[in-house]
Amino acid sequence: MLIALLTVLFIGTLAFASNIKAFTLHSLPTFIVCLWLSDHDIWLRMTYSFALPVVAIAIHNILQRRNDRFAQELLSRLLEERETLTDLSMMDPLTGLYNRRGLQSRLENLPTVENGEHFVLLMDIDHFKAYNDHYGHMMGDQALKLVSAAIRDAVRSRDIVARFGGEEFMVLLTNISLEHARQTAERIRQKVYDLKIPHLFNESVATNVTISIGIAIFEDEDVEGALEKADKALYEAKHMGRNNILLSEEIQTA
């Protein structure tokens, strides 16, 4: 709304400046002739005849420069707002993490492998449907915010964290060894557990909110392949009792 009002003001000011110049240049010849036909105060009138167009043109130039500056500022504001809207379209509004669109954008600009490998961590909050059913969706949203913050705090700033959908999250660890990838996954699992979010997912078991994690290596820029392997590892981690971490290569021996 503000941008629209500023745009209207800019156009109106520009039109006003142009009208001043046009009026002066079109009316000046007739005005000068009238001055010369008068017998009184001819020098004073001649001074007016030269001063008026100079003043009018000076005013026009001042207004034009201001309009040019305003146009540049307006353009900068519009570009900033467009970038902001673009950024917002790539973020999950609840958690502040990347959404699927933002994740795809980051994957398109993935750094090349230098030291170590890239690893995909796919994770899911255990028994989250039961949590929502018992505590309500408002408390469920609050739990999602706390868990997402814990995940983000457990990884490096260069790593990519996204809400993959519902209670599922994905982390892409870049240029890291397998050992450090495992350590990062364990740090995430522990941080979520340490939140001490109460979770009574059935009448006989009282515990805290936990998370299970599947790990897969990101090979040959094959996103779908890595996600499929990580998803299978996540499924097996849950099958083993939840609150677990499993590497995709360990599924056969798990």
| Contact call for residues 212 and 243 (beta carbons, < 8 A) | yes
How many Cα neighbours within 13 Å face the side chain of 208? 14
Going by DSSP bridges, is the β-strand pair 245-247/117-125 parallel, antiparallel, or unpaired? unpaired
Could you confirm whether 108 is annotated as catalytic?
no
Given 83, 114, 117, 167, which residue is catalytic? 167
Tell me which residues are annotated as active site.
167
